[in-house]
Amino acid sequence: MDSLILRVATRILAALMLMFSVFVLLRGHNDPGGGFIGGLVAATGIALSSLADGPEMVRRVLRIEPRLMAMIGVVAAVGAGLLSVFGGDVFLTGQWGYVLGVKVGSPLLFDIGVYLVVVGAVMAMLLALEEEED
């Protein structure tokens, strides 16, 4: 689709959606939100720019194969679960520590993993569908 209005609007909208997706991702720790819904918001933003600028452009900007992104996400999420080995806890139990005075924990890594899985999987499907049309 070649539309000037869509392309100009997308530049602002896609950036806003990506920012919002990170906000939702981080908010998910104590409030509604999290990796899954954040990932969907991000995927929507990227999908919008793939409609405006075409799938090749999106692939160039993403730099990483979407399916690979999903698989890295799986490793991150399962890895976050495996960190509980060090605390001697059950799989996926949150592990907490201080990095530079900020309290961080494995649930964030898990959420980031889920985020990557969702973005990667949705983009893999959407890009495949769009490229089929050409």
Partner 1 sequence: MSATGWPLVLPIITPLLAASLAFGLRRWPLLQRSVSILGMAAMLLFTVQLLGLVADHGPQAVAVSTWTAPFGIVLVADLFSALLVVVAAFTGLVVALYAGAEVGRGRESHGFHPFLLILLAGAAGAFLTGDIFNLYVWFEILLMATFGLLVLGGEKVQIDGGVKYMALNMVATILLLTAIGLLYGMTGTLNMADLHIKVAEVDDPAMLTVIAVMFLLAFAIKAGLFPLFAWLPASYHTPPMVVSALFAALLTKIGVYSMIRVFTLIFTHDMAITHGALGILAVLTMVAGVLGAAAQTDMRRVLTFTVVSQIGFMLIGLALMTRMGLVGTVFYMLQDILVKVGLFLAGGIAVRYAANESAYGRLGGLWMNKLWLAVVFLIPAMALVGLPPVSGFWGKLALVRGALEAEAWILTGVALAASFVTLYVVGRLFVTVFWKPAPALTEAEAQARAAYAPTRGDMALMVPAVTAVAVVILGLGIFAEPVLALVDQAAQQLLDPTAYITAVLGPDAVPPAPTLIGGVR
Binding-site ranges for partner 1 (CB under 8 A): 67-68, 71-72, 74-75, 78, 81-82, 84, 88-94
Min CB(89)–partner 1 separation in Å: 6
Q: What is the rounded distance in angstroms from the CA atom of residue 117 to the CA atom of residue 134?
A: 26
CB of 129 to partner 1, least distance (A): 13
Q: Is 127 exposed, middle or buried (0-12, 13-18, 19+ CB in 10 A)?
A: buried
Measured between alpha carbons, how far is 10 from 13 in angstroms, rounded to an integer?
Answer: 5
Q: How far is the CB of 93 from partner 1 (least distance, A)?
A: 4
Q: Please, which residue, 14 or 69, has the CB nearer to partner 1? A: 69
Torsion sign across C-alpha atoms 27, 30, 35, 37: negative
Pick the closer one to partner 1 by CB: 18 or 82: 82
